[in-house]
Amino acid sequence: MKRFIGFIKKEFYHIFRDRRSLFILFGMPIAQIMLFGFAITNEINNVDIAIIDHSKDATTEEIINKISTSKYFTIKQMIAREADIETAFKKGKIKAVLNFEKDFSKNLIKEQKATIQIITDATDPNTANSITNYINSILQNYQQSKNKGIVVEYQIIPQTRMVYNPELKSVFMFVPGVMTIILMLVSAMMTSISITREKELGTMEILLVSPLKPFQVIIGKVVPYIFLSVINAAVIVLLSIFIFKMPVQGSLLLLGLESVLFIITSLALGILISTIAETQQAAMMISLMGLMLPVILLSGFIFPITSMPAPLQIISHIIPAKWFIIIIKGIMLKGVGMAYIWKETLILVGMAIFFIGLSIKKYKIRLE
Amino acid sequence: MGISISNISKSYKKVKAVQNISFDVNPGELFGLIGPDGAGKTTIFRILTTLLIPDDGTAKVAGFDVVTDYKAIRKSVGYMPGRFSLYQDLTVEENLTFFATIFGTTIEENYDLIEDIYVQIEPFKDRRAGKLSGGMKQKLALCCALIHKPKVLFLDEPTTGVDPVSRKEFWEMLKRLQKKGITILVSTPYMDEAALCDRIALIQDGEILEIDTPEVIVNKFPKTIYNVGAHNRYKLIKTLQSYEHLYSVFPFGEFVHYTDKRDSFETVDLKSYLEKAGLTDIIIEVTQPNIEDAFMELAKK
Amino acid sequence: MKVENVIEVIELTKTFGDFTAVNAISFEVKKGEIFGFLGANGAGKTTAMKMLIGISKPSSGTAKVAGFDVFSQTESIKKNIGYMSQKFALYDDLTVKENITFFGGIYGLTRKKIKEKREQLVSELGLENISNKLVGSLPLGWKQKLSFSVSLLHEPKIVFLDEPTGGVDPITRRQFWEMIYKAADQGTTIFVTTHYMDEAEYCDRVSIMVEGKIEALDTPKKLKEQFKVDSMNQVFLKLARNIE
């Protein structure tokens, strides 16, 4: 045990004395989250919208007036038919279309309620969200002013519809992706580099010719990075919560445990890489090309898996990151518990065991 | 507690690194493996330290087989690979502490063994190993290899890249360690270090040329060697190379080493031959062969 | 017959902050001479050599290399010197011929000249059968001989050799010294920096640097007589000990 602690102590010295790895460890996650977060703003101003008015009555006119006089929206265009909505979105710079149902005023008086459809372009999901919120509040204001002193209240019912990005990927959707990438990078790349560095230096020869057992060397290399990766995951989650006000719906404890599981899987991959690579440079290349690219392209982080060609969909199943993204999306954004993600968790556990087993088996007790 | 190697061969892909090598190192002996870069010295070291498995042959270190008993060997030997494998970003003391812990010991426990080496680098104990001079790295690496009191010590080219003063000190340290009963196998490309070993094996292209004490190897040299000097060394060599009785001629420091085909030979003949060729300031005198002469003679065969 | 000096160094000094790496060294090297520039690691020989080959500016003093001033004419110096070190020699992943062509191109030789030199060099070194092989596959000794020849491609006045024969087998080593003698015989000056005293024995004259100063400068023979020892190694050990 003393040997083991001595080994871990040494690993920490390496990490804290190497500015480059420190930067990757702590600079990257912060920079990535900030970039993804601030690239998308929540403020809107003078957004161009279009209107379809099937009623053309006093109430709709009043509402249109309210909207056009607000500083948030400019009415660019009046559309006659639903069929023209798509062309309007494609051609113009409009970000939303308001569709008033037929006999809006009549319905409001007769049935105390009327429907208005808000169609937004969700390629920029944050803006789409904001537009909906702003329009809703304008409608509510109008409704309140109308309802003053009336016994049976009028109700304007907005129906929101998103086009082009119905899943509404936003900064919150990026958080799981970024977190996955960072954990993968730190765990797999840094461990594989730190092991190959010993090969390059020749110190691996001395470690081999010592009573240290292979699993002690591996675990010794891995423990510091588990620790650092957990800190990293925490930094990412905290940044998301406190700077971007991301609501984390599910259990933080579960999130933490699932993260540790993924970190272990990635570390095992890192060790596997170091058994193939002889130099730090090779380890870095294999990590980037073999792990980072698939994670970015095939994990569903950027491109939805469902819209991939079938062979790629099949390949995506063997990428641990895919399952981890599903898990943490579920916990962070949907607030689900173990009952919903046990299958994915089990797959990750299986992968972790497989890679650890393989890397211990492949770890050479000699130089060949 | 010695080393015994019999008929070891090892190839990397197509390249034969060592071929059919056998030698024994007696307990407590300081044995030198002398040969140029690429001769196969490091391969032999790696086989003996259990890092490589030989294609053929068997080897024992301290009584243990290098293939089957590798765990026992790893506990009882000290190994200093070429290039002083230290952690550059750890300090002198941290390096030593680390190697002590992984061998399950402490600096204090075995301090008596490394004391006279460690005191020389102790003033720099808080300096990172990467910032040490070659000589100090060498001493630190030796301390690290000794910290667990090994029975057999393997030193692969410990004096490469180190200045003459440190080299001399290093060999003095080895002599002292030998007195403490440690068996030492050391390799070097520098022929002049051969004389400092009890016995040596001369090795080239993966084959052993000769194994014996340095004195015996030198004494076995079959010819009388003459130091020949003249005002122009290049012309001297060219002239000697076309001399009909030439056996060998090699530049050797300020002279060239010349040997003659004939058993009895008069230096005046050679002198007049050289004078005729227009050389001046001619010196011809008998000199003692050294390990390099012996090596070249053996390598020629 | 007065032989011209190709290197003239007077009171050359280099300081880094408070540290004086090279302390007012003076010496000259004659045309066709094999000059050994010795010293332990950190004695200042690398710094001194960098000033002579024009890649480091001296703090004070003067020096002329191949007739050019080390302060103002470094470009001319670079054209007139060759350089070979054990660490950097040739590209392992290029063939023998490609290496020669490449370095010939770097030194600004014409295509015709390169071709001529290439053929000459390949036949002189006996590399006809392997001239299309990768340099990486050659034995170390051949690489070193080839790399020395390449450093002579542009017929420089001075060649700087950095520990040229360390680790080579004794026979190749002597073939290498023969090549050096030949180059010197043809008028090329050879400037050898090394900390292996064995290599020093082969030089016409040697200087020994200790802590930034030249502490001894003479022929190996006279130095050995002066210190009453029989090898340059012992000369060095005595010098180093006296300083300590």
Task: State pLDDT tens for residues B62-79.
Answer: 999 999 999 899 988 999
CA angle at B246 for the pair B245 and B247, rounded to the nearest 5°: 115
More confident residue, A213 or B183: B183
| C157-186 tens-digit pLDDT | 999 998 887 778 888 888 889 999 999 999
CA-nearest residue to B10 within chain A is A368
Closest CA to C206 of C38, C43, C29, C33: C38
End-to-end Cα spacing for chain A: 28
Please choose, from the candidates A272, A273, A299, the residue with its C-alpha nearest in 3D space to the C-alpha of residue A286: A273
Give the whole-angstrom CA distance, residue A247 versus residue A254.
15
Q: Are B282 and B230 in contact (CB under 8 A)?
A: yes
Model pLDDT, residue B153: 94
pLDDT for A40: 52
Structure tokens at C91: 């590209």
Closest CB from B81, B89, B144 relative to A13: B89
B240 close contact with A: CB closer than 8 A: no
CA torsion, ordered B209, B213, B217, B220, to nearest 10 deg: -130
DSSP class of residue A287 equals I
The H-assigned helical ranges of chain C are 45-52, 74-79, 96-106, 111-124, 140-151, 170-185, 197-200, 220-227, 232-243
Residue A79 and residue A64 in contact, taking contact as beta carbons nearer than 8 Å: no
Regions of chain A short of the pLDDT cut 70: 37-44, 91-92, 122-126, 150-152, 162-173, 302-304, 368
Task: At B3, list the tokens.
Answer: 């080393």
pLDDT band at C74 (very low <50, low <70, confident <90, very high): confident
Q: For chain B, how long is the longest CA-to-CA vector?
A: 73
More reliable by pLDDT, B202 or A359: B202
Q: Spell out a b/e string for C49-73, using b for 16 or more CB atoms within 10 Å of the CB, else e.
A: bbbbbbebebeebebbbbebebeeb
- With beta carbons less than 8 A apart as the criterion, state whether C168 and C141 touch: yes
Q: What percent of chain C has pLDDT over 70?
A: 97
Q: For A209, which residue in chain B has the nearest alpha carbon? A: B74
A361–chain B nearest CA distance, Å:
17
**CB-CB under 8 Å, B90 with A206:** no
Helix (H, G, I), strand (E, B) or coil at C78: helix
Determine, for residues C240 and B133 on separate chains, whether the beta-carbon distance falls below 8 Å.
no
Rounded to the nearest angstrom, the minimum Cα separation between C96 and chain B is 20
DSSP of A175-190: HHHHHHHHHHIIIIIH
B233 to chain A, closest Cα gap in Å? 43
Look-up of token digits 């020096």 = C63
Q: Does B71 touch chain A (CB under 8 A)?
A: yes
DSSP code for B195: G
**Closest C-alpha to C131, from C109, C123, C115:** C123
B52 contact A CB<8A: yes
User: Residue A306: which residues within 8 A CB-CB, separation 6 or more?
Assistant: A313
Residues of chain C in contact with residue B217, where contact means CB-CB under 8 angstroms, are none
Taking residues B195-203, what's their average pLDDT?
Answer: 94
Choose from C143, C172, C195 for mutation: most chain B CBs within 10 A.
C195
Q: Which two tokens stand for residue C65?
A: 């290399």
Please list every residue in chain A whose beta carbon sits closer than 8 Å to the beta carbon of residue B143. none
- Kind of pairing between the strands at B207-212 and B199-204: antiparallel
Of A2, A13, A205, the CB nearest to B81: A205
Q: Could you tell me which residues come within 8 angstroms of residue A17 by beta carbon, excluding any fewer than 6 positions away? A: B89
Q: What is the pLDDT of residue A38?
A: 66
Mean local confidence (pLDDT), B16-31: 93
**Section B191-204 average pLDDT:** 92
C-beta atoms of A203 and B85 within 8 A: yes
Q: Coil, strand or helix: which one is B203?
A: strand
Looking at chain B, list the stretches that DSSP marks H as alpha helix, in order from N- to C-terminal side: 41-48, 70-76, 92-102, 111-121, 134-146, 164-179, 214-219, 233-241, 267-276, 291-300
CA distance C113 to chain B (A): 27
Q: Which residues pair with C186 in a beta bridge?
A: none
> Residue type at B248?
S
Alpha-carbon distance A200 to nearest alpha carbon in chain B (angstroms): 9
Please name the residue of chain A whose CA is at the shortest distance from the CA of residue B84: A202
The residue of B14, B157, B165, B259 whose CB has the most chain C CBs within 10 angstroms, and thus the best one to mutate to test that interface, is B165
pTM: 0.79
CB contacts under 8 A, A 14-43 vs B, are 14, 17-18
Taking one residue from A and the other from B, the number of pairs with CB-CB distance under 8 angstroms is 83
State what percent of residues in chain B have pLDDT above 90. Answer: 60
B196 to chain C, any CB pair closer than 8 A? The answer is: no
Name the residue among A189, A181, A186, A172 with its Cα closest to residue A324: A181
Report the gap between the CA of B247 and the closest CA in chain C (Å): 14
Cβ contact A202–B49 (<8 Å): no
Q: What's the token pair of residue B30?
A: 């300081």
- CA atoms of B222 and B211, how far apart (whole Å): 17
Report whether pLDDT(B117) > 60.
yes
Q: What is the pLDDT of residue A163?
A: 64
pLDDT for A143 equals 82
CA distance A108 to C182: 109
What integer best gives the mean pLDDT of chain B?
Answer: 90
Tens digit of each residue's pLDDT (9 = 90 or more) over C184-223: 999 999 999 887 788 888 999 999 998 889 999 999 999 9
